[in-house]
Structure 1
């Protein structure tokens, strides 16, 4: 069972215990207002990181970049965007994991080298950092940041290949881990994904007007294309390097043998439901997760209630499959910022109540099925169950639309260590008792995989390491990496 300090930790934790994706990337080629389009795209990707954001632009000669701490809308005004002229741009919105939460690690990162100026924006984590950094420093590399993203640029700068494209391919073949990156020189855009395809990256196109050339767009999620009226063309393939220049779009592969292992948690939680991730609509996957969950662990009840916002789509699927009415019994306050002044810790559960409020008229006297996407530490789940019960619910049954999270992620996700993952250390029944639910059930691994591949002509290969402990790469614990290089 739970030790006393487990309960104390959970009571003291005022944060939602959710996994956090730490960034989204964006790139525009051939548009007279490239920085503004990048800004709009980052707006659509804000859910992928709320700590810092940056945009770098180029006009063929000069490169300008502006970065800041905070939300995209807080950093970029009309006056700021006017300082970013040019027809190509890249952008980044960030949430740090174990790396420093500081402006110096905000991206894009620009480095002037013998290969020219290169700016990079990176989504993911590299796991073979120590040896590469030591070797680069012996060769004279001076690091400006503590971000692992800069290692890629330094590898390019020190590559012995002749052309820039060959230097980039050479550098990417030397690093291991997760990277979906966009890069920019004074007149070219590059986009690449790691050979496993762990993180998403898509390419779109805005048709030129009156015979003008098309604009090419790259983004972590296709929802960014919709705001720009860009048409989704395809994903950047795992192990692929795409270059866009005045000669058009060219592509080459720096790895074609590695087995695909895309992060399945993008479909469970990270990505917006209106995005197509790894060639599949997120909305479709999440609805099937809810339907499968209802078939696997149905329970008599009066109402299906999602934990907003990430549990909504799965709850819709659960309600449709079970025939139990769906309703929004928890209302989320979307205007609670990233930080807020909390009362003394003795005022229990204040953080959750700032963000969620129960609808007593719907919940009172009802048998309620709560649908959420995950349980990480158990902290928030316990508080939400208590909240629903305090609003008059007769029974509270918690259903989770993925399997128990038992292992940390080393590929660009802010995951607690194994000792802090509740499912890694306790049985489902022990977790149920701790969160004080009448019943608790998770979606099976087979059910999740079926939900994310059903109907696909070519089923995706997924990384499920957080549920199985089976990692697609050899990995190094982040404690072994720091402080040499901070993981983004």
Structure 2
């Protein structure tokens, strides 16, 4: 397991990223580039599976960053062929820690040939499925929920891989965006609610790509074609793209936190620029939560677009009051307790000349446990700030996510245990305000705010309204929000 740096326990962890390419010589090289662009979605480990007509399937799985592993010629030469898929991981299900067998893509050999699968999301009935499969003779190689899909495919009586995958996924509950491959096909599929993202791109005249985000298409020079629709499966071959609808129709519930934090700001989601949505969140936040102050400062880097929007709407100058050290990564070694206690300073430093004597508005994307917010507040006050006001670009995070985001247990979420005023006192700031759920929806393009009869997004982490019942967690004693 990579040593984490000081803030890792106080942010919602990125889920995973998936990428696939067909119709390009040395497709694995394209996949490595795509995974590099998706590194923000998972920094624990990565893997690539490729297929070559002469050498068959080949795979490589490594811990650490894409740049440290999949840029080495000696490794990439072992992944030949015009078809490849890849995955970057932050573990959201299964055991935490350095277990190479948990690193995707997963591979299975079936009667009609091999298939590999990379999954972004979380299966909410995985424990029940796993128990059933083991009772019927399945032998699992990993602790990942995603492996259930391979075993369900193996038990299907359908005659080809895509049909077996449909069979398997009809039994799966929760969230999944999947990139898979056979010897000749690249397959992409989203669950019926479309909780996690997946997009289709075109490479030149003959190539195709599937990706978690559009920013990864840009890095390989692919043209964004469209999003894979909720409940859609695409099967891509040399002949082109086929679209299938294997699931019962449902009203989409895309994860709204993709807009707030997970997706890169240069990605496009639902036809909207993530950067522009985050800037608009800042605009809404300034309208809902004004305060007299001298400067607006982002908590780098995720708070930057919202801070710009807040400044533009409020007329209060934007300033870089906190500077991020670009060279502190997750692998930074913290050898002694005294150094660990300086953790926040390893990543962020206050621009003292700018902050001293000022009333400062700090804009951040979220408050999870509150430990980071307290450290940053102390830094700002130590630099001589006259006042510190927090403005948060998401509603209070009160409920854990079970759809592919690693969230602390509910009793560790600050907003689940304190009201806004109690949180303000706990953090020791002059004021603390969060954007409303309606305001967040307006910033995401829903002019009338949240439709309570049909929320257009999955916002369970804020509202406690889970669009798919987390069956495994309920079986373990988790209590969902009572109906109002």
| TM-score category of the 2 structures, normalised to the smaller one | over 0.9
Q: CA deviation at 1:132?
A: 1.9
SS in structure 1 opposite 2:123?
A: coil
Equivalent-residue separation in structure 1 for 2:474 and 2:68 (angstroms): 33
CA distance 1:433–1:281, change in 2 (3 Å): same
SS in structure 1 opposite 2:10?
A: coil
Matched, 1:428 2:420: yes
Q: CA deviation at 1:245?
A: 1.2
Equivalent-residue separation in structure 1 for 2:7 and 2:438 (angstroms): 33
Equivalent-residue separation in structure 2 for 1:286 and 1:114 (angstroms): 48
Equivalent-residue separation in structure 2 for 1:255 and 1:297 (angstroms): 42
> What are the Cα deviations for residues 405-462 of structure 1, in whole angstroms up to 9, with x where unaligned?
0000000001001000000000111111111111000000000011112479xx9920
Matched, 1:42 2:56: no
Q: CA deviation at 1:348?
A: 7.8
> What are the Cα deviations for residues 187-211 of structure 1, in whole angstroms up to 9, with x where unaligned?
1111001111010000000122xxx
Equivalent-residue separation in structure 2 for 1:165 and 1:267 (angstroms): 31
Alignment partner, residue 63 of structure 1: 57
CA distance 1:175–1:79, change in 2 (3 Å): same
SS in structure 1 opposite 2:85?
A: strand
Q: Is the 1:397–1:439 contact (alpha carbons within 8 Å) kept by the matching residues of 2?
A: yes
Aligned pair partner of 1:467 in 456, 462, 466: 462
Q: Please report the TM-score for the alignment, with normalisation by the length of structure 2.
A: 0.92
Aligned pair partner of 2:184 in 164, 184, 187: 187
> What are the Cα deviations for residues 196-227 of structure 1, in whole angstroms up to 9, with x where unaligned?
1010000000122xxxxx21001001000111
Alignment partner, residue 14 of structure 2: 21
Equivalent-residue separation in structure 1 for 2:277 and 2:327 (angstroms): 28
CA distance 1:481–1:90, change in 2 (3 Å): farther
SS in structure 2 opposite 1:179?
A: strand
> What is the number of residues matched between the two proteins?
464
Matched, 1:350 2:347: no
CA distance 1:188–1:148, change in 2 (3 Å): same
Q: Is the 1:262–1:278 contact (alpha carbons within 8 Å) kept by the matching residues of 2?
A: no
Aligned pair partner of 2:194 in 173, 193, 197: 197
Q: Is the 1:120–1:183 contact (alpha carbons within 8 Å) kept by the matching residues of 2?
A: yes
CA distance 1:164–1:259, change in 2 (3 Å): same
Matched, 1:283 2:275: yes
Alignment partner, residue 118 of structure 1: 115
Q: CA deviation at 1:97?
A: 2.6
Alignment partner, residue 318 of structure 2: 326
Equivalent-residue separation in structure 2 for 1:108 and 1:481 (angstroms): 28
Alignment partner, residue 74 of structure 1: 68
Matched, 1:302 2:294: yes
Q: Is the 1:13–1:379 contact (alpha carbons within 8 Å) kept by the matching residues of 2?
A: no
Structure 2 matches for 1:217-256, cutoff 5 A?
Answer: 217-256=209-248
Matched, 1:417 2:412: no
Q: CA deviation at 1:350?
A: 1.5
Alignment partner, residue 481 of structure 2: none
> What are the Cα deviations for residues 252-291 of structure 1, in whole angstroms up to 9, with x where unaligned?
0112422211100000000000001233221121011000
Aligned pair partner of 2:26 in 20, 25, 33: 33
Q: Please report the TM-score for the alignment, with normalisation by the length of structure 1.
A: 0.91
Q: Tell me whether 326-335 or 251-260 shows the greater mean CA deviation.
A: 251-260
Matched, 1:154 2:155: no
Matched, 1:384 2:376: yes
Equivalent-residue separation in structure 2 for 1:88 and 1:238 (angstroms): 24
SS in structure 1 opposite 2:174?
A: coil
Give the superposed CA RMSD. 2.0
CA distance 1:97–1:481, change in 2 (3 Å): farther
Equivalent-residue separation in structure 2 for 1:16 and 1:164 (angstroms): 40
Alignment partner, residue 4 of structure 1: none
Alignment partner, residue 311 of structure 1: 303
CA distance 1:13–1:309, change in 2 (3 Å): closer
Q: Is the 2:93–2:122 contact (alpha carbons within 8 Å) kept by the matching residues of 1?
A: no
Q: Which runs of 5+ in 2 are unaligned?
A: 478-484
Aligned pair partner of 2:256 in 255, 264, 267: 264
Matched, 1:359 2:351: yes
Equivalent-residue separation in structure 1 for 2:143 and 2:474 (angstroms): 14
Bigger relative contact order (CA 8 A; separation at least 6)? 1
Q: Which runs of 5+ in 1 are unaligned?
A: 1-11, 209-213, 483-488
SS in structure 1 opposite 2:107?
A: strand
Alignment partner, residue 369 of structure 1: 361
Q: Is the 2:112–2:159 contact (alpha carbons within 8 Å) kept by the matching residues of 1?
A: no
Q: Is the 1:54–1:93 contact (alpha carbons within 8 Å) kept by the matching residues of 2?
A: yes
Q: CA deviation at 1:137?
A: 2.5
CA distance 1:403–1:14, change in 2 (3 Å): closer
CA distance 1:95–1:172, change in 2 (3 Å): same
Aligned pair partner of 1:167 in 160, 164, 189: 164
Equivalent-residue separation in structure 1 for 2:473 and 2:92 (angstroms): 10
Alignment partner, residue 476 of structure 1: 471
